[in-house]
Structure 1
């Protein structure tokens, strides 16, 4: 992405006509309509969008834009010089993976950033399980990745998931605290007592439900591997579709877990940024 800085108050179309001269007015209007111009990491299509002095406008090249159109199973929610935030579908692996032909989120984003400059790279900051959908953050440099990972617990202000779980959860709100350990078979186990495992705290609020399923808003106080899945099994309401952790049904034909919201201090600006993705409609339909 290429960035242009406004030196005085103006409107977006007028500004880009000046920056991209002698490109034709119709060509730039088409770029606007397609969503190739970004302000604060979000695509802007309004021709007369006001710009203040110092505002930065990011521009996707036609080549990069074509790469966005070919992304499979993910959408870019935000991009700036330091981070890319995506909304990932269930079934898409978030990291590289062993099968070099698989279109993982990581590989697709790597191709996307290299469309502008072959030296560009992306770096994994955190992961979502293959069968969990929702919001994910990647870094565009190793230094930003390190800053985010080393200060994750303090930088992240909010992590909210939507979980479709089996059965009717009786309590409207709850808090689950335990210590998690992983076995040699890659399954995580929970203990209510400190057994040397990783301390994990999960908060949940019931949003709706019926006899068979409950829809929960789940907020992580800690972010441990499989934390929500293990804690839901622990309270007797496993995540729908999660056979590994006790589920007996699979009404969505996928794991009933979606990363809805993440809010964190931007590693460069220090400002809190927040990104969200609504839960898939099937979650709401099954739990009515």
Structure 2
């Protein structure tokens, strides 16, 4: 069993559960509550309630049980394979599909579908995320590259790390974006008050850069093309909410009216380009907007004519 020891400094005077959610940002507050309930967290060698107020000098010991060995089942789920060879595959992921299994959600994912269709997937990310080099949010549609062996995985990961992968998205945002284009350079980290959200912040954050070009204006809405220089969690959604133009349909970062009654954020990974790990040639792929997205744009186009 892994153990983590945390010493409380003089400036901390918060609830135990909230304090730990900040210190252990990879854990949700729900998981921390369960660890406290299961008596796997002690303060000064004593069990405390989640509401206990930590104070200077407290020593917190967190015991983490060994992860259970999981088996991911191949499933015959329809997916659109845009390109495939011995090293990689490019998938046009539908919105509503989770990329890889996670606690409480071990089926119906892209990984389950890949395991059914492909004999080989890279092993670098373990049993839960075989082949997964990068992610798309559940309700973001579009292109994602899959590695079929570890060599391809390592090379694609290096390209991502050093900004060698071209990723272009199309999104519909609220409001009239006044600039024809520009760059949003604002660091992103965990929202300090809601650990399920990301935010533009200087605290425990990483550089995040998004380049955008306005494609069309529809009065109350703007169609924008966005090229990612970095790839932080929820980057486009967070950046445009921070910019004052949240993505239409975003259930987390937009408080704007959802007049189209869409069930997801209108964000689509349209283009993906990289250097092929074996041939060393530049390759680029493009896919169409999903039908729901196209119908909304057609409606808006009729209204402005």
Change in 2 beyond 3 A, CA 1:157/1:104? closer
Q: Deviations over 1:93-114 (max 9, x none)?
A: 1112335663211110111114
* 2-structure distance, mates of 1:138, 1:235: 32
| Equivalence for 1:48 | none
Cα-Cα RMSD: 2.4
Pairing partner for 1:102 from 90, 107, 112: 107
What is the CA-CA distance between 1:158 and the residue it aligns to? 1.5
Q: How does 1:109-128 map to 2 (within 5 A)?
A: 109-114=114-119, 122-128=130-136
Change in 2 beyond 3 A, CA 1:272/1:175? same
* 1-structure distance, mates of 2:105, 2:229: 35
Q: Are the counterparts in 2 of residues 179 and 200 from structure 1 also a CA contact under 8 Å?
A: yes
| Equivalence for 2:212 | 204
Q: How does 1:108-187 map to 2 (within 5 A)?
A: 108-114=113-119, 122-154=130-162, 156-183=164-191, 185-187=195-197
Answer 1 or 2: which has greater strand percent.
Answer: 1
* 2-structure distance, mates of 1:198, 1:283: 34
The unaligned stretches of length 5 or more in structure 1 are 1-66, 116-120
| Equivalence for 2:20 | none
Q: Deviations over 1:40-83 (max 9, x none)?
A: xxxxxxxxxxxxxxxxxxxxxxxxxxx99x543x3000000010
What is the CA-CA distance between 1:134 and the residue it aligns to? 0.2
**3-state SS, counterpart of residue 223 of structure 2:** strand
Q: Does 1:240 pair with 2:248?
A: yes
What is the CA-CA distance between 1:285 and the residue it aligns to? 2.3
Q: Are the counterparts in 2 of residues 155 and 264 from structure 1 also a CA contact under 8 Å?
A: no
What is the CA-CA distance between 1:140 and the residue it aligns to? 0.6
**3-state SS, counterpart of residue 143 of structure 2:** strand
| Equivalence for 1:6 | none
**3-state SS, counterpart of residue 118 of structure 2:** helix
| Equivalence for 1:229 | 237
Q: TM-score, normalised by structure 1?
A: 0.68
* 1-structure distance, mates of 2:163, 2:211: 19
Q: Deviations over 1:196-215 (max 9, x none)?
A: 51111111111112222111
4+ aligned runs moved over 4 Å, structure 1: none
What is the CA-CA distance between 1:255 and the residue it aligns to? 1.1
Q: Which deviates the most, 206-215 or 129-138?
A: 206-215
* 1-structure distance, mates of 2:104, 2:283: 34
Q: TM-score, normalised by structure 2?
A: 0.64
Q: Deviations over 1:110-129 (max 9, x none)?
A: 111149xxxxx951100000
* 2-structure distance, mates of 1:99, 1:233: 29
